[in-house]
């Protein structure tokens, strides 16, 4: 396995943002900036939207449910003002055609993208399901849909001098710690955890590969990878097994708030001087909570051969051959 960057860097050294870690207090005015975020009607995506609106940004949510989006927007307008610049474009990451339509709509509506935040995800789908495009549902929604979206919006983000933020998970270092290239869809031995872990690892590998490609091409796009720790959200509450529901209900009270869970992605979308080959997230209790800073990054997320192969497979399967 060929690797780049540091090995298991110093998660628990001094926090570069001070003892309290990164907080949204560090953000200046975002007036004039437009952020595009997937899966923002609930959880950390909703809280990230709140944080960005609070600093004067415009936010376009890419959500799959019109009804939930209307509720979320109404809540935000109630908090900020009826004129708060938050809107929604329908996009279902489980359907590549829907991603293409949503990207076309964004290109039409948003002349300059300050950051695309790839936040939406599903987790723990109890039995193996395939998306309409034939992907196991978690790799389909979490990775393939976002890979295509990033490719379709990349040129706009580049001309905007914008950013791409990949929201991963510490699940990337659980279980088998690899992309199952020989059985990407888990035709054999499906397990909800293995499929989720693979999908979050894929998102992170893609993020670091994109970082390397942007640098190699000498382009002006910041790409960052983060995770929200363990946060109280709707993840693992819908289409999951009864056992997962019970377990999550028992441990959820110990999770941090969704608001705190949103800070790593807001950091990655706004903070100056962010670093490559770095995983931003909470840094205490095994990186599940606490001050936001730089977390340990396990070597397998930086496997350049696997990342190059994943890129090729993703481009083939989504039908979009793209690169910075």
Ligand X SMILES: NC(=O)c1ccc[n+]([C@@H]2O[C@H](COP(=O)([O-])OP(=O)(O)OC[C@H]3O[C@@H](n4cnc5c(N)ncnc54)[C@H](OP(=O)(O)O)[C@@H]3O)[C@@H](O)[C@H]2O)c1
**Would you name the residues annotated as active-site residues?**
196
Can residue 51 be called a binding residue for ligand X (CB under 6 A)? no
Give the nearer residue to ligand X in terms of CB position, either 125 or 160: 125
Inter-residue contact 252 to 307 (CB < 8 Å): no
Least spacing, CB of residue 191 vs ligand X, in Å? 17
Residue 92 is a binding residue for ligand X (CB under 6 A): yes
Within positions 242 to 301, which residues make up the interface with ligand X, using CB under 6 A?
261
| Segment interacting with ligand X (CB under 6 A) among 2-10, 19-27, 76-84, 90-98 | 90-98
Q: Binding residue for ligand X (CB under 6 A) from 121, 144, 221, 268?
A: 121
Contact 49, 86 (CB under 8 A): yes
Contact 126, 239 (CB under 8 A): yes
Check binding of 224 to ligand X (CB under 6 A): no
What are the residues whose beta carbons fall under 8 Å from the beta carbon of 96, sequence distance 6 or more?
132, 133, 144, 145, 148, 318, 319
Q: Which stretch binds ligand X (CB under 6 A): 12-20, 78-86, 91-99, 290-298?
A: 91-99
- Token pair for residue 113? 């993208």
Within 10 Å of residue 90's Cβ, how many Cβ atoms?
15
Which of 122, 269, 301, 310 is close enough to bind ligand X by CB under 6 A?
A: 122
Asked whether the CA dihedral 126, 299, 147, 109 is positive or negative, the reply is positive
Q: How far is the CB of 262 from ligand X (least distance, A)?
A: 8
Query: Between residues 251 and 272, which has the closer beta carbon with respect to ligand X?
Result: 251
Name the residue nearer to ligand X (CB basis): 287 or 303. Answer: 287
CB nearer to ligand X: pick between 231 and 314: 231
Q: Does 69 bind ligand X (CB under 6 A)?
A: no
Instruction: Give the residue with the Cβ less far from ligand X, 11 or 304.
Output: 11
Rounded distance between C-alpha atoms, residue 129 and residue 285, angstroms: 33
3-state SS string over 300-311? HHHEHHHHHHHH
Measured between its terminal Cα atoms, the distance across the chain in Å is 24
* Torsion region of 296: left, alpha or beta (phi above 0 gives left; psi -120 to 50 gives alpha): beta
Contacts with ligand X by CB under 6 A lie at 38-39, 41-45, 63-65, 68, 91-94, 119-123, 141, 167, 169, 227-228, 230-231, 233-235, 261
């Amino acid at each position: 396995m060929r690797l780049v960057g540091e090995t298991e860097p110093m998660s628990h050294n001094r926090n570069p943002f001070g003892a309290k870690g990164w907080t949204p207090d560090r953000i200046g005015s975002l007036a004039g900036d437009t952020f595009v975020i997937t899966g923002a009607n609930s959880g950390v995506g909703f809280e990230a939207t709140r944080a960005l609106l609070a600093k004067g940004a415009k936010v376009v949510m890419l959500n799959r449910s019109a009804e939930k989006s209307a509720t979320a927007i109404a809540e935000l307008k109630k908090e900020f003002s009826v004129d708060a610049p938050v809107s929604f474009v329908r996009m279902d990451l489980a359907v590549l055609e829907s991603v293409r339509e949503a990207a076309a709509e964004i290109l039409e509506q948003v002349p300059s993208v300050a950051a695309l935040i790839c936040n939406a995800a599903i987790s723990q789908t109890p039995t193996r399901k395939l998306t309409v495009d034939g992907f196991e549902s978690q790799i389909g929604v979490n990775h393939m849909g976002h890979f295509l979206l990033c490719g379709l919006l990349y040129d706009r983000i580049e001309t905007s001098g914008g950013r791409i933020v990949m929201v991963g998970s510490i699940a990337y270092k659980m279980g088998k710690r690899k992309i199952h290239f020989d059985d990407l869809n888990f035709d054999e031995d499906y397990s909800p955890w293995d499929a989720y872990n693979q999908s979050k690892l894929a998102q992170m590998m893609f993020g670091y590969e994109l970082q390397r490609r942007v640098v190699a091409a000498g382009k002006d796009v910041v790409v960052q990878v983060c995770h929200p720790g363990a946060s109280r959200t709707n993840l693992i509450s819908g289409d999951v097994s009864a056992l997962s529901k019970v377990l999550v209900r028992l441990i959820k009270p110990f999770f941090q708030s969704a608001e705190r869970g949103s800070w790593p992605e807001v950091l990655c979308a706004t903070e100056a001087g962010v670093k490559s080959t770095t995983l931003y997230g909470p840094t205490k209790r095994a990186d599940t909570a606490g001050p936001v800073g730089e977390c340990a990054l396990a070597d397998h997320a930086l496997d350049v051969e696997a990342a190059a192969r994943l890129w090729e497979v993703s481009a083939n399967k989504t039908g979009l051959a793209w690169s910075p």
